[in-house]
Amino acid sequence: MPTDERYRSRRQRALERRTGRRARAVVFVTVAALAWLVLFRQPRRTPRARDVAERVAPAGPRAIRDTIRAKDGVVSVLVRAGLPALDARAVLAASELRGRARRDIPVSVYADSAAAPVREVEFQIADDRSIRVIRVAGTTWTVTERRELWRTDTVTVVGPIRGTLVESFRNAGRGILTVRGRLEAAYAIAEAFEYKLDVGRDLETGDSVIAVVERRRTAFGAERIGALLAGGLFHGGRWLRTYRFSTSGGTSEYYDAEGRPMRTTFLAAPVEFRRMSSRFGFRLHPILGTLRRHDGIDFAAPNGTPVRSVGDGAVIKARYSGGFGNLVEIRHRNGMITRYGHLRGFSATVREGRMVTQGQVIGYVGSTGLSTGPHLHFETLVNGVSREPTRTLREASGVLLRGPSLVAFAAARDAIASRLGLAAPVPLNATSRTVDSGRPPVQTGSGVDATK
């Protein structure tokens, strides 16, 4: 094919393609214009009154809740809640509150609708008491006091030990008690078992806890935890249980299942915030390097940590004593002697021949005598023979209930045990269980037994 003819053929095809593109563009613009006319040039329909009424729902009562923080101005918080400044000052004058709060005060502001003026302001000044300031007319307000009754029920919290006792209660009691209530319940268990178990250090994963506490509540949502009625700790393969019992003399105390008081003659340990660095028995002496019998236990603690007498008694020695360094020995009423060695110094009230009471500070942790660092050497001697201190202190029980008191205790113990499922407790598995009134633990989850 000649060159000129080929050139004309290519040019013709290019012209045809350009013509096709222009035609498609014209069609697209035409369709778009028609669509715009159809959609946007329609006459607007005037909404009917019924349609407007359906879209605008009538406004209901309005309640705004806030908190007047300590040192906040009361008027400024009320203005923030929606009151005009003039009304806020009138409410403050009627309530007779201070202009600046000394502590946190929850406040609620009520109106009949979003557009209506505020008709009532309520200040919750206590767990069971509030001040209500009500609009009479215009800027005139009147004040009344509202008191709520405390309603009492019984709550049972059951769960496994996971971490500390407080952490375990925080998990097991979620949804049953408030944060403060769970903390108080944990403290109540720790106090009840203080003389039998070091709950801060002895409890471990696999143990379980159960607490039956009285609870008081108001309609405001306030909560107060009352006495621990019964409790149990599963530790060392067995249950330790305690029950609160009031004697005929009017005193309330915690007793174990056999009627022995939980509060024994001795504390569980003479120092807090410590760890056991050396146990009772034979060991390689850290300084002499020979195998020797260790007649006590060593508590490693920071230098200067207070050392307490584990029980009432008379000081028979308070002086420097060779390898023991500064040493205190106390003879107790049952004849047992406790020994405290390597003290940095003695308390100013400790002298030989003087009496000391349980929990009284007698000295301070040090490193005197044969010692490699700050610690307390603690011994218990029974009839002149050193005994393992931890077991010896725990076995020193108080006086058993006897006669009518024991009979009354047994009846009270059996009543609460059968009603709350504590009669024959079983160890819990990795999940907490519910204790229903009068039934053993069967359901997975935290438990509550509310008895009005």
Q: How many domains does the chain have?
A: 3
- Token pair in block for residue 97: 């509150």
Higher pLDDT, 384 or 345: 345
Among all chains, which residue has been given the structure tokens 């009496």?
355
- Residue 355, pLDDT score: 92
353 located within any domain: yes
For residue 364, which of 344, 381, 388, 382 has the smallest C-alpha distance? 344
For residue 196, which of 272, 275, 254 has the smallest C-alpha distance? 254
Give the Cα separation of 142 and 96 in Å (integer): 11
Quick one: 244 and 257 in the same domain? Answer: yes
Give the domain CATH number at 122.
3.10.450.350
- Residue 328 pLDDT > 90, yes or no? yes
Percent of the chain with pLDDT over 90: 24
Give the Cα separation of 342 and 381 in Å (integer): 18
Three-state secondary structure call for residue 86: helix
- Residue 259 pLDDT > 60, yes or no? yes
- Residue 139, pLDDT score: 81
- Residue 432, pLDDT score: 35
Higher pLDDT, 154 or 329: 329
Using alpha carbons, list the distances in angstroms from residue 430 to 21, 58, 218: 76, 53, 34
How many helices (H) and strands (E) the chain has is answered by: 8, 24
- Residue 254 pLDDT > 60, yes or no? yes
Quick one: 214 and 169 in the same domain? Answer: yes
- Residues 147-170 have a mean pLDDT of 88
296 located within any domain: yes
- Residues 345-369 have a mean pLDDT of 92
Q: What is the pTM of this model?
A: 0.51
- Residue 428, pLDDT score: 39
Report whether 211 contacts 447 (CB < 8 A): no
Quick one: 137 and 170 in the same domain? Answer: no
- Residues 149-167 have a mean pLDDT of 88
Helix (H) or strand (E) holding 148: none
* Residue 365: pLDDT band with limits 50, 70, 90: very high
- Residue 436, pLDDT score: 35
Quick one: 125 and 222 in the same domain? Answer: no
Among all chains, which residue has been given the structure tokens 């001795």?
266
Quick one: 361 and 432 in the same domain? Answer: no
Q: Which of 108, 131, 147 is the endpoint of a domain?
A: 147
427 located within any domain: yes
- Residue 397, pLDDT score: 56
Give the Cα separation of 134 and 128 in Å (integer): 19
143 located within any domain: yes
Q: What are the E-state strand segments in 148-219?
A: 151-160, 208-217
324 located within any domain: yes
Give the Cα separation of 150 and 217 in Å (integer): 5
Percent of the chain with pLDDT over 70: 77
For residue 231, which of 209, 246, 215 has the smallest C-alpha distance? 209
159 located within any domain: yes
Higher pLDDT, 247 or 404: 404
Contacts of 269 (CB under 8 A, 6+ apart): 198, 299, 310, 378
Three-state secondary structure call for residue 139: coil
Quick one: 322 and 362 in the same domain? Answer: yes
Q: Are strands 140-147 and 297-300 parallel, antiparallel or unpaired?
A: unpaired
Quick one: 237 and 183 in the same domain? Answer: yes
Helix (H) or strand (E) holding 271: none
* Residue 356: pLDDT band with limits 50, 70, 90: very high
Q: Which of 376, 395, 414 is the endpoint of a domain?
A: 395
Give the Cα separation of 213 and 153 in Å (integer): 9
- The 10s digit of each residue's pLDDT in 82-121 is 899 999 999 999 988 888 888 888 999 999 888 889 999 9
Burial (Cβ within 10 Å: 0-12, 13-18, ≥19) of residue 103: exposed
116 located within any domain: yes
Quick one: 307 and 197 in the same domain? Answer: no
For residue 331, which of 346, 302, 352 has the smallest C-alpha distance? 352
Report whether 86 contacts 79 (CB < 8 A): no
Give the Cα separation of 364 and 108 in Å (integer): 53
* Residue 41: pLDDT band with limits 50, 70, 90: low
Among all chains, which residue has been given the structure tokens 């215009």?
138
* Residue 275: pLDDT band with limits 50, 70, 90: low
Quick one: 319 and 385 in the same domain? Answer: yes
- Residue 90, pLDDT score: 92
Quick one: 376 and 287 in the same domain? Answer: yes
- Residue 434 pLDDT > 50, yes or no? no
Q: What are the E-state strand segments in 92-237?
A: 105-111, 118-126, 129-137, 140-147, 151-160, 208-217, 223-235
171 located within any domain: yes
* Residue 122: pLDDT band with limits 50, 70, 90: very high
- Residues 183-194 have a mean pLDDT of 89
* Residue 281: pLDDT band with limits 50, 70, 90: low
- Residues 237-245 have a mean pLDDT of 88
Q: Report how far apart the first and last C-alpha atoms of the chain are (Å, whole number).
A: 111
Mean pLDDT, the chain, rounded, equals 79
- Which of 148-157, 214-223, 272-281, 435-444 has the weakest average pLDDT? 435-444
- Residue 398, pLDDT score: 59
Q: Identify the domain containing residue 85 by its residue range.
A: 62-147
Quick one: 197 and 308 in the same domain? Answer: no
Three-state secondary structure call for residue 119: strand
Q: Which of 128, 147, 166 is the endpoint of a domain?
A: 147
- The 10s digit of each residue's pLDDT in 367-424 is 998 888 899 999 998 888 888 888 788 776 556 677 888 888 888 888 887 766 665 4
Give the domain CATH number at 374.
2.70.70.10
Report whether 365 contacts 305 (CB < 8 A): yes
- Which of 115-124, 248-257, 330-339 has the weakest average pLDDT? 248-257
Quick one: 376 and 411 in the same domain? Answer: no
